[in-house]
Structure 1
Amino acid sequence: MTARIIDNLRKFQEFLLETGLARSVLALPAPRMLALPSPTTEAAEPANVFTRLVTESEIVDVSRDLFSSGHYSIAVQEAFKAVDRYIATKADSHSLSGTQMMELVFSPNAPILYWSDRKTQSEIDEQKGYHRLYAGAMLGIRNPVTHEFNWVDDPDSALELIVFAQHLIRKAKVAKVGTGKKGN
């Protein structure tokens, strides 16, 4: 049954290519597997771990299917783009994106998003640390994965990065919204 379905899909793909209809479709690299493995096989373990660990809808919606089909780099890229979009929406900062936006939004001196009054050293350190984590995630993960083909090519590394993106989303969800002026 499965072999017949795959054969029919191949014939349909050939038809699309022959008629020229496939030219308007996004060309993704070939997935690493023809069909998803059975949930009980060892090959399905990364997808099963993904399902157990990644639960934030902003991340799941954009990366689960890509991850499960072996498009690890694109799954990571979409997860960090989701972080970028979430921060832009929450901070109402749509004119900037990426590292520049994170530098502004989480600025230790006048943040738009913050978690405390920044009166104790621990509170100040938290703001400074997450400022660097958000900006660093855009500079060191989102940018390379967007500009380099297959920057992440194994499921374990991809899963680690996607879980980190989820942590950033969760942390942003509990952040308070300020004015971006000193003394929020």
Structure 2
Amino acid sequence: MTAPLLDRLKKFHEFALEIGLARAVLALPAPRMLALSAPSTEGGSAVFAKTITEPEINNVSRDLFASGHYSLAVQEAYKAIEKFIQEKTKSTGLSGTQLMQNVFSVSSPKLAWSKRSIPSQEDEHKGYQFLYSGAMLGIRNPVVHEFNWIDNEEVALELLLFAQHLLRKAKAAKTVEE
């Protein structure tokens, strides 16, 4: 609640400054409940190079990330996941959330990590169906349809690491024969 209010106040103040109604940029203190991590001595590009190792993601997002185009880097990473899954399952007619719900369907999946014969395996499968679908809906769609959705290096790294996890999990999945 506090963060969105502060963001709106900051944007209003920047607008007032832009049109000449304000004289200085408003500096708002960080909320006390905000737990900031300790600053890293490494730059984001160095962290990227050490952690983002899957070639499908590294190749499409490395240069974008290094040049500060965080939204585009994340966008390309999630599009790479989508493309990988489309090709692995030969599901070229579907994309985004529909693709993920279809491919990881509980009743007739195209990809799976196990035979889903015990509750834990069923739970894993259903959970990842939601994670893949949610990643397309909550991450890929906004970065594709909104300009500069992600403008923070740390957030971009987190989303790229999540993308890498999803890609590795998709690589480990077996094609289910129907």
Residue 118 in 1 paired to residue 113 in 2? no
- Structure-2 residue corresponding to 1:55: 53
d(CA) in 2 for partners of 1:109, 1:133: 17
Structure 1 runs of 4+ off > 6 angstroms?
none
Q: What is the root-mean-square deviation in Å for CA atoms of aligned residues?
A: 1.2
Alpha-carbon distance in 2 for matches of 1:104, 1:148 = 26
Aligned residue for 2:160? 162
What residue is the counterpart of 2:15 in the other structure?
none
Q: TM-score under structure 1 normalisation?
A: 0.73
Counterparts of 2:167 and 2:112 in 1: how far apart (Å)? Answer: 13
Gaps of 5+ in 2: 1-39
2: distance between equivalents of 1:142 and 1:112?
Answer: 21
Alpha-carbon offset, residue 44 of structure 1? 6.0
Q: What residue is the counterpart of 1:132 in the other structure?
A: 130
In 2, Cα distance between equivalents of 1:43 and 1:65: 21
Shift of 1:177: 0.0
Aligned pairs for 1:60-139 within 5 A = 60-139=58-137
Partner of 2:149: 151
User: Structure 1: any 5+ residue segments left out of the alignment?
Assistant: 1-41
Paired AA for residue 146 in structure 2: E
Please state how far the C-alpha of 1:43 moved relative to its aligned partner. Answer: 8.5
TM-score with structure 2 setting the length = 0.76
CA distance in 2, matches of 1:52, 1:131: 28
Separation of aligned partners in 1, 2:161 and 2:117: 30
